[in-house]
Amino acid sequence: MNAFAAWGLTILGLAIITTIAEMLLPQGKTRNVIRSVAATVATLVIVTPLPSLLRSGFDFEFSGDEVTVDSDYLAYIDGVKANTFASAAKEHLKSKGLDGDYKIEVTVDGFYVKSVKVNFADSIMNGNITNINKSEIIKSIADYFDIDEEAVMAYG
């Protein structure tokens, strides 16, 4: 940019000097010679940056900083999806008679369930279910979300 401005200012300065010289000099051969010299110098000044420009080539960086998305908002949306999945899974298990106080935590990847955690710590099974049938719950959850049983972790 500085070189660009310096180049322009050189031409501007040259033009001003030539104009003043033309005003001061009387009509005659000297004036024509001065004008020719000024025109030649101006041409040289205009052409001077071209070889270096062609040698260095154009290397303008077009790409900018990477776009930063609102990760907190996306985490919130994933949370909403996960809660919806968890509620739906609870409803599904309830319909199969596997209701209880166990908690389901779902980890999502876009629109798909990635993994599920089932917390049986505070589980008190109701009705006619006397024992917590963990393996059946795990299998039902895996079937429900169409994921491997290894992706369903149970604890408590």
Partner 1 sequence: MKNKHIYILIAFLATVAAACCLFSLGIDSRVYAESAEGSDEQTVDDSVDDLLDNLDLKGVQGIIATLSSNQLEVFGFGDIVSRIKAVISGEYENDFGSVITYVLALLGADIFEFLPMLIGCLAIVLAYSIVNSVKGRFASDAIEKVVYFAFGTLAVSLVVGYFSAVMATAVKYVTSIKTQINTIAPVLITLMTAAGASASAGVYSPSIAILGSGMTNVIIYIAFPALIMALVFDIIGSVSSGIKLDKTSDFFRSACKWFLGTAFFIFVAVIGVSGITASVRDGISVRAARFAVSKYVPVIGGYLSQGFDFVMAGNVLIKNALGSSAVILIILCAAPVLTKLAVFTLTLKLTAAISEPLGGDRLSGIMTSISKSSSVIAAVVAAMTFLYILFLSIVIGTGNIGL
Considering the rule CB under 8 A, would residue 57 count as an interface residue with partner 1? no
Considering the rule CB under 8 A, would residue 28 count as an interface residue with partner 1? no
Q: Which long-range contacts (CB under 8 A, 24 or more apart) does 83-90 make?
A: 85/113, 85/145, 89/116, 89/141, 89/144, 89/145
Considering the rule CB under 8 A, would residue 154 count as an interface residue with partner 1? no
Place of tokens 């322009």: 8
Contact present, 154 and 115 (Cβ < 8 Å): no
Using DSSP's 3-state secondary structure scheme, residue 139 falls into: helix
Helix ranges, 27-96 (H)? 29-47, 49-56, 71-95
Considering the rule CB under 8 A, would residue 125 count as an interface residue with partner 1? no
Q: Write the interaction track for partner 1 spanning residues 62-101; mark x where CB under 8 A is met and - where it is not.
A: xxxxxxxxx-xxx-xx--xx--xx-xx--xx--x------
Name the DSSP class of 68: P
Nearer to partner 1, 19 or 135 (CB): 19
Of the candidate residues 6, 33, 39, 53, the single one contacting partner 1 (CB under 8 A): 39
Q: Of the listed pieces 7-15, 48-56, 98-106, 122-130, which binds partner 1 according to CB under 8 A?
A: 7-15
How wide is the angle at C-alpha 111 spanned by C-alphas 105 and 116, nearest 5°? 20
**Kind and range of the H or E run holding 22:** helix 2-24
Nearer to partner 1, 88 or 151 (CB): 88
Q: Which residues bind partner 1 (CB under 8 A)?
A: 1, 4-5, 8, 11-12, 14-16, 18-19, 21-24, 26-27, 35, 38-39, 42, 46, 60-70, 72-74, 76-77, 80-81, 84-85, 87-88, 91-92, 95, 110-112, 143-146
